[in-house]
Amino acid sequence: MLFTRSTFFIACTLAAGMGLSACSKSNNEEKQAPLTASTPATGEASTLTERNAQQRLISTLQDGLKKANINAKITDAQPTEVPNLYWISFEGMPSVYATADGKYILQGEIVRLGGKELHNVSQNLQAANAKKLFDQLKTEDLIVYPAKGKTKHVVYVFTDASCPYCHKLHEHMDEINSKGIEVRYIAWPRGEQFIPAMESVWCSKDRQLAFNQAISGAQLPPAACKNPVRDMYQMGLNIGVNGTPAIYSTDGVYLGGYMEPNELAERLNK
């Protein structure tokens, strides 16, 4: 799949451009590292004191990043259930944790113990952010494969016509749809060199036909329209996508990368 969070600032900020994932950026690896869209869960600041603390934290972090010559714009800071730990959202980059004093940034998963099952502290906030962005999408800007019969589930899939795992998933589209699952494709070219092909798909009168051709290796005519491909790529970065395919529920929960139809249906039914 795409880039890893451990290389967040280098891969996403300093390297700027559009590095891809395997079906992660453009290193077509045989295996995809599992993606886990993670993010904390807690309420927004409810008092003026808390809101002021958040603004001070954002200012401190922004200053620290600037001193380190990192061009990253912070868009939000939310307290987590972990004392003195905040969830920091960036423009065009995956979120990270930061200590309340703004001195330390943490990446990865934070898991709470104590119950019968482990609880991923990050998951709810990440999902909420993704859901907000999915809700803003227009159906006409996507490639939609409706469910056959009654629609039981809808999934959003970040895809790239050059990705072998996307190809494998696409081969099972009829079976996926027959299980009552509607699939909505979002363009996520894994590198600058793959953008033209995806733009050509999105500029085609029949996007499904064009995508079928592109994912089979056909060369499409150059794009000749205003299209949302780059905006979709940026949206993927904002929610932490780092490889294709990346499958999400309508609630913004990351379901996984490539999955067999039965596996996907089972995951959605849980």
How many other C-beta atoms are found inside a 10 Å radius of the C-beta of residue 136?
A: 8
CB-CB contact of 215 with 161 (8 Å) = yes
CB-CB contact of 57 with 105 (8 Å) = no
Q: Is 160 a catalytic residue?
A: yes
Q: Is 190 a catalytic residue?
A: yes
Of the residues 5, 12, 23, 160, only one is catalytic, namely 160
In angstroms, what CA-CA distances link 206 with 163, 210, 233? 21, 6, 21
Of the residues 163, 184, 203, 207, only one is catalytic, namely 163
CB-CB contact of 97 with 85 (8 Å) = yes
Q: Give the integer Cα–Cα distance in Å for 240 and 233.
A: 11
Of the residues 5, 12, 23, 166, only one is catalytic, namely 166
End-to-end C-alpha distance for the chain, whole angstroms: 24
Active site residues: 160, 163, 166, 190
